[in-house]
Structure 1
């Protein structure tokens, strides 16, 4: 019987992880922070989750705030400092920011990772439902809970991203992602197509959120067949999909098609580390999988966000150009650099909502000298950058269980939530950015 990646490594390791035991080579998540620079904040900032448990939301492109900005979603766990196993469960809930930051539980999940959590998010823009991924028996599923009556229904596949109106979602194979990009998939279930380089029965599914109806709209075999410069060099590569996102009107989506040149399905090992050794291109398509277009064939696509229905701003390295943020116009070869001087490093970028659409919310990875992560706003028309804060990231937070800030904005754009581990473990912090927005 095929094993999941972590099941395999547990059977070949003499070390057994239990309770708060640390992953080999890691340090305590509450390690001495003396090697990091000081915490600095430049806008009103407060922690809205409380210990001793740890809290975080995860990825930057999910809807964390309800429409009113009062309720803020988060995940809750009792441990840090190691990868999750298929037996590890987390709590999901929301914080009532107008009632002494009260924690309101919603459910639990056994399908999660440190970077993207369990894809916890509000469904649509009404604030009536919340969804998250979970494990049920021998499959990963999606739970959808009604806020009004607490009833939970289950979709037969996990959700990666949903349309802004909450009507449709896209699913990918988190078992395969776990093997080829540890930290972004889910442990506990083996990939049935582990021995196939580009399986025809694995890929992207479109899910009707209301009915659960599903359809495979792009397989890995189909993606691998799309011509790619240098593809003949890696004819034996191992393919997977990662990072899906639907445009504002729900008509097209984008996905990162990635492959690793080398992978051993017997030992579930590959050359390089989880964060490198793979090659990337961005593909866009209609929501039914038609009209596919290789938007960024560079091999270097990283973080991205839809600017509008037709443009995507991403960190990449276009052919003949330096690494940086660029805006690509979908289904064309039009590329425009963005914030090259003020946003010189890779980060988790989004645009604030109306009426602040010309503001980019972004962050940095830990600075090499101070080990601090900076969260900032960049005003595109004026070229001005406003740092919101510098947040220490202890050395224990590196690799798969790192804690990126992943800044997320409220629906009105005036509040920003981040994850930060600077005060004895990861927690969620709320920042008020109205003074900056009003300054221009």
Structure 2
């Protein structure tokens, strides 16, 4: 370890002692590598997107100069490319005025590409997306923002981010007010796909269409509706999203503390063959295991809360990690492990400690990678969840954390644990 990294590690361990043991895996005790430095905050965003390119050399990140408040229209993120093979050198490649604390600007590598990445931005009063080519150092603009990308790299799926911000602050974007803020279930907005080459888009489902479908036999049209958490199946043939609604709109602080109802839905890329995969009203974080199965934190009707493996377009379900994954978190499968290993985290406990861990499904074995203290000022909309994500090789876990007092990015090598 070079002197700079040794000093960082020493400071890290010193900072952790005051909050008790941090790296608790009995056989895999290790210190994470920090890849960004303050005083500015750095983070990536959500857990279900590629942060690291296929070669494993370049990681993506966002930089911001303030904390503790909602973004405003003129607050810009700096977009950076981090060279993990050159002492984590940060290179500025762009900026964004369309972002939130939880999912940043949907920054991510385009699947299958080692040269192109994408993020959302604001231009001429419209949300757009930017595609950056790292070798040519050029940027092209697509006419609509993206939420998730198809694994085949051909298209994106999106929804109205100002609608999300109106009804779930922190997950949408400032800058453009929701034009349908007085309409409970607009016909004009909903779910769309966009070709990543041409920019051509296609409307699939409106909020009004989903609001017209009763929930457990009850009419729900007289509520405020939005779509959230979109994801595309591994074969790029089906879309998965959350349909959410609230009975009323309140101020941001009150709304953050009040509940909403959720149902998880799948549909094909034509907006047809719609299926309510989880009608319980409790769906939370999820990931596709394969084109036919979804692992989701939920409480199915008549069953306990947990991570359930659901088969799409059927009522088949199986509880995963009943004894070890008992708290909601941000779950993904570790690449190249035949979906045997799950990467997950928790929300802060009563002592503000977040746990990062792996779970081996066949062996029913939990490996704790670390426990990280989250300072009390990182709460609510601007909290910093770990949102752990693997590199594309399945060898390292990257995550955002505030355990050293500021929002920064880290990674841990897990290759010796999962065998990649």
The normalised TM-score by structure 1 is 0.88
Alpha-carbon shift at residue 126 of structure 1 (Å): 2.1
1:297-316 to structure 2, matched below 5 A, reads: 297-316=279-298
* Larger RCO: 1 or 2 (CA < 8 Å, sep 6+): 1
Residues in 1 aligned to 2:94 and 2:310: alpha-carbon distance in whole angstroms: 39
What residue is the counterpart of 1:40 in the other structure?
Answer: 23
What residue is the counterpart of 2:265 in the other structure?
Answer: 283
Match of 1:237 among 200, 208, 223: 223
Work out whether residues 36 and 371 of structure 1, in 8 Å CA contact, stay in contact via their aligned partners in 2. no
Match of 2:145 among 131, 152, 158: 158
How many residue pairs get aligned? The number is: 402
Specify the SS of the correspondent of 2:255: coil
1:165-184 to structure 2, matched below 5 A, reads: 165-184=152-171
Alpha-carbon shift at residue 125 of structure 1 (Å): 1.7
Specify the SS of the correspondent of 2:310: strand
What residue is the counterpart of 1:380 in the other structure?
Answer: 361
1:350-365 to structure 2, matched below 5 A, reads: 350-365=332-347
1:29-428 to structure 2, matched below 5 A, reads: 36-40=19-23, 42-232=29-219, 234-263=220-249, 269=251, 272-274=254-256, 276-368=258-350, 370-428=351-409
Residues in 1 aligned to 2:257 and 2:329: alpha-carbon distance in whole angstroms: 14
Work out whether residues 23 and 31 of structure 2, in 8 Å CA contact, stay in contact via their aligned partners in 1. no
Specify the SS of the correspondent of 1:298: coil
Instruction: Render the CA deviation track for 1:345-382: whole Å, top value 9, x for unaligned.
Output: 000000011235210000011121x3111110000000
The normalised TM-score by structure 2 is 0.92
CA RMSD between the two structures: 1.8
Alignment gaps of 5+ in structure 1 = 1-31
Residues in 2 aligned to 1:275 and 1:418: alpha-carbon distance in whole angstroms: 26
Alignment gaps of 5+ in structure 2 = 1-14
What residue is the counterpart of 1:11 in the other structure?
Answer: none
Specify the SS of the correspondent of 1:273: helix
Work out whether residues 326 and 337 of structure 1, in 8 Å CA contact, stay in contact via their aligned partners in 2. yes
Specify the SS of the correspondent of 1:436: helix
Specify the SS of the correspondent of 1:365: coil
Alpha-carbon shift at residue 147 of structure 1 (Å): 1.1
